[in-house]
Amino acid sequence: METLDYDFNLQDLVSKISNLNPKSIILQFPDGFKLFSIAIADYLKKYLKDVKIYISAESTWGGCDIAIEEAKMLGAELIVHFGHTPYSLAEYKSILEKVPVIYVPGKFKKELSKSSLISLLFELNKIGASKPALVSTIQHVDALKQIRDFLNERGISATIPKSPLMEEGQIVGCDYSPLINEKNYDSVVVVSGGYFHAFGAGLMTMKPTIKIDPYTDKVENVTENVKKILKKRYATMERSKSAEVWGIIIGTRTGQYRPITIRALESLIKNKGKKYYLFFSKSLTINELRNIDQPKIDAYVVTSCPRIPIDDISEKEFEKPVLTPGEAFMVLKGELERYRLL
């Protein structure tokens, strides 16, 4: 296990599981961590010989997606959820209390390369940024201090914004509260693999956004990409202004059921003299949306994961507006100045 690039703190995990004394447990991994599942299961079996271990083969998208119902079906008394922290935006928390959950973030062990830090400094100087806010996914929050120290020593006043419900500088795909709470910054630096979190940070702040990939050492200014996405989102919202009949799609994954948001949308649509239909889906796909669609429905709002309308449902594939809850609120309230996801 010492050869893994991530620190799962397995000795501590064994102690936590032992203290709860379960007869069977579920191990739940995001797709990027599934290659570690067998090695981790073998490690746990060495110390927890009488514990039956189930490994989830399903994708898990975040701390919002906990296998509570699966645990009840299998009789598992504990869920060990890797790659995420407790979900900060859960509206329906009582279901999360039905089965204990241990969260194992899995911190990336390697430091950022000196060349990537130099490239980051070059990109910041290139756009004239002097006060960047530094954020990352949970795996890379330790790298933020490395970046801050490097930049501060070179005259760049970098900050790591805080959130009361997450680690310092941590963001998730739908929660960018550290960047919303922090006011004194002129740009955003996101440490993560891929573009998912960088695009989200750019959308929520509408500030210059630079991504540093800890796996490839590539540094990239994604501001123009974000502007293109934002332009498409506003075009989608514009098309939904005339909608008289809405489809509200309710998420039934553990942390993606948002009763407060749903009730607010129902009330707003009703008060506007419009109609709505309620649908539900555990994992909405373009095919599911096509199957439920009817001519009388003018627009949809997805209340589960707000990234589905942005990342998964292309306007080329589906011709009707599909909005996030935040976008629907913007349209129905006529408040288009500040972009919002939820």
Give the pLDDT score at 2: 55
Chain centroid to Cα 216, Å, comes to 21
Report yes or no on 341 lying in a domain.
no
Of 176, 199, 227, which one is at a domain's C-terminal end? 227
Sign of CA dihedral 235, 312, 211, 135: positive
Number of domains in the chain: 3
Instruction: Please tell me whether residues 210 and 278 are part of one structural domain.
Output: no
Instruction: Please tell me whether residues 96 and 118 are part of one structural domain.
Output: no
pTM: 0.94
> Helix or strand or coil: residue 148?
helix
Give the pLDDT score at 97: 66
Instruction: Please tell me whether residues 122 and 203 are part of one structural domain.
Output: yes
Question: β-pairing, 209-212 with 219-221?
Answer: antiparallel
Q: CA 134, 183, 307, 30: dihedral to nearest 10 degrees? A: 30
**Which of 62-66, 201-205, 269-273 is predicted least confidently?**
62-66
E strands, 245-288, in order: 245-251, 275-281
Instruction: Please tell me whether residues 273 and 329 are part of one structural domain.
Output: yes
Is the pLDDT at 201 greater than 90? The verdict is yes
Report yes or no on 342 lying in a domain.
no
**Which of 37-51, 72-86, 305-319, 324-338 is predicted least confidently?**
305-319
3-state helix vs strand vs coil in the chain, percent to 5: 40, 20, 40
Q: Give per-residue pLDDT as tens, 300-312.
A: 999 999 999 999 9
Q: Give per-residue pLDDT as tens, 142-155.
A: 999 999 999 999 99
C-beta separation of 88 from 172 below 8 A: yes
| Domain that residue 179 falls in | 114-227
Is the pLDDT at 112 greater than 80? The verdict is yes
Instruction: Please tell me whether residues 87 and 130 are part of one structural domain.
Output: no
Give the pLDDT score at 94: 63
Q: If you count them, how many residues does the chain have?
A: 342
Rounded distance, CA 148 to CA 164, Å? 20
Q: What is the CATH number of the domain that holds 172?
A: 3.40.50.11850
Q: What is the CATH number of the domain that holds 328?
A: 3.40.50.11860
Give the pLDDT score at 95: 61
Instruction: Please tell me whether residues 121 and 199 are part of one structural domain.
Output: yes
Quickly state the pLDDT bin for 163 (edges 50, 70, 90).
confident
Q: How many CA atoms lie within 13 A of 296 on its CB side?
A: 4
| Structure-token pair, residue 71 | 């645990």
Is the pLDDT at 3 greater than 70? The verdict is no
Of 197, 227, 257, which one is at a domain's C-terminal end? 227
Of 87, 108, 129, which one is at a domain's C-terminal end? 108
What's the chain's average pLDDT? 95
E strands, the chain, in order: 6-7, 24-28, 52-55, 78-82, 101-104, 107-108, 132-136, 187-191, 209-212, 219-221, 245-251, 275-281, 299-302, 322-323
Instruction: Please tell me whether residues 256 and 220 are part of one structural domain.
Output: no
Q: What is the CATH number of the domain that holds 69?
A: 3.40.50.11840
Question: β-pairing, 132-136 with 187-191?
Answer: parallel
Quickly state the pLDDT bin for 231 (edges 50, 70, 90).
very high
Instruction: Please tell me whether residues 246 and 297 are part of one structural domain.
Output: yes
